[in-house]
Amino acid sequence: MPPAVFATTYTLHHMDLDELSQPLVENDGLAAAARPSHDALEQDVSVCSNEEDRKVPTLVFIVVPTISLIVVLFIAVLCMPPAQLPTTPNNKKSPIRVFVLAGQSNMVGHGYVSKKDEAGKELNGTLESLINTQPDQFGMLKSKKNVDETRLLSSDEHDVVSSSWTVRTDVLIACNYQSFDDPKDEETPKMHGNLFAGMCGGDEPHQNHMGPELGFGWSVGDAFNANKAEDNKVLLAKIAWGGKSLEVDFRPPSSGGSTGPYYTTMIYDIKSFFANVEKFFPEVHGRPVVLSGFGWHQGWNDLIDSTAAADYEKNLANFIRDVRKDLNVSDLPIAIASSGMESIKTNEKVEEVVHAEIAVAKYPEFNGTVTTVDTRGFRRKPPPASPGDEIYHWYNNCESYWLIGTSLGNAMVELVRRREKSNP
């Protein structure tokens, strides 16, 4: 029996083209003017041929009215309003796109949304501090009024939490929060609702951490939900576990050996997510749902092992092929965020894994459908420039996680639009 996993319900939408209107049916011609036949006209003339006083009346009462009628009809045609295409009320609901966000702890997300020092001052690199120091970039994340999160999310701990963060009602999200050591521990997502800062970050609900999901959600939400007149939504399904390698835990079937238990669980979770989406998100009822993309941020456990680092490129290429095969989407857009959290100065295997992540996206077979975001420029300095000392978690710096998410989201938008343009 397959491992019980993330049974979350989401309606993904794919962009349906409007149905084409019925083609115009051209009139072959307007009703022709009734006019006397040539024989009839000759007969009239011959009858009057011996009576000169009747020739003029014949012309006046037959030829002139005919010409007049033709002129009137010609003018009527010119004045006729243009034909209109038949209109059919469009009762279709907009589709919902689903994006899977998978990987290990850096996809789980460990940026500190808020953390203060002993004097009560907000530490650098938290989201709260970024709101104050970089309001132009992060100010929109803060709401002007507190929102009761219980209206926005559901979790095993139905805590009443007040949030002052902006809530994206057009971006839905669910996350597994599964056991750190057992992927079969939970059958349903621990949390689901609308996206806001801290939602679905960290290893457990309300940990007040953030990951790439926040920036990713804002990027794809702004891109695909730009038409505010439509009730558009995107849905994020975050399925990630900390401390897991591609060499063993996420090992794809095509790499041989034992398939990774977290790979098997991830695939099962995604399928369960689609099968049960309306259970968790009733608002998606009746809408088309489509798996639009797959985001991947993982690599730490492989770059600290020589064998895993050497195998990373092979394993990642096989991972992409197997995910597409198992989810039955041969050209599924896949965006990868590289493992740029540590410098080659401290770990030479970092460059090997990052090189592999970038190289795979350049394979001819993945041309235009796989892309890698080089995250090395998103690394920030350790404390006091950052709020934490966990180098493997980007020093817990929310700016790093935000840049990873937005860049991953922008790359995904480009892949999806390219795919939809080539497959209308």
271 within 8 A of 328, measured Cβ to Cβ: no
Evaluate if pTM is beyond 0.85: no
- Is residue 260 classed exposed, middle or buried when 0-12, 13-18 and 19+ CB atoms within 10 A define those classes? buried
The two beta strands, 233-240 and 96-103, are parallel
**Residues present in the chain in total:** 424
pLDDT by 10s per residue, the chain, length 424: 444 444 333 333 333 323 323 332 333 332 333 333 444 434 443 333 444 444 444 444 444 455 555 444 444 434 444 433 333 334 467 789 999 999 999 999 999 999 999 999 999 999 999 999 999 999 999 886 655 554 455 544 444 445 689 999 999 999 987 655 555 555 567 788 999 999 999 988 778 999 999 999 999 999 999 887 677 899 999 999 999 999 999 999 999 999 999 999 999 989 988 998 998 899 888 888 899 999 999 999 999 999 999 999 999 999 999 999 999 999 999 999 999 998 766 677 888 999 999 999 999 999 999 999 999 999 999 999 999 999 999 999 999 999 999 999 999 999 999 998 888 7
Q: Give all domains of the chain, ordered by start, each with its CATH number.
A: 40-79 (no CATH), 96-422 (3.40.50.1110)
239 within 8 A of 270, measured Cβ to Cβ: yes
Orientation of helix 349-360 relative to helix 306-326, angle to 10°: 20
Return d(Cα 245, Cα 253) in angstroms, integer. 14
Mapping DSSP onto H, E and C, the string for the chain reads: CCCCCCCCCCCCCCCCCCCCCCCCCCCCCCCCCCCCCHHHHHHHHHHCCCCHHHHHHHHHHHHHHHHHHHHHHHHHHHHCCCCCCCCCCCCCCCCEEEEEEEECHHHHCCEECCCECCCCCECCCCHHHHHHHCHHHHHHHEEEEEEEHHHCEEECCCCCCEEEECCEEEEEEEECCCCCCCCCCCCCCCEEEEECCCCCCCCCCCCCEECCHHHHHHHHHHHHCCCCCCCCEEEEEEEECCCCCCCCCCCCHHHCCCCCHHHHHHHHHHHHHHHCHHHHCHHHCCCCEEEEEEEEECCHHHHCCHHHHHHHHHHHHHHHHHHHHHCCCCCCCEEEECCCCCCCCCCCHHHHHHHHHHHHCCCHHHCCCEEEECCHHHCCCCCCCCCCCCHHHHHHCHHHHHHHHHHHHHHHHHHHHHHHHHCC
In this structure, the number of other CB atoms found within 10 A of the CB of residue 306 comes to 12
Tokens of 335: 């965006």
278 within 8 A of 285, measured Cβ to Cβ: yes
292 within 8 A of 306, measured Cβ to Cβ: no
Return d(Cα 373, Cα 400) in angstroms, integer. 13
Tokens of 10: 């989401």
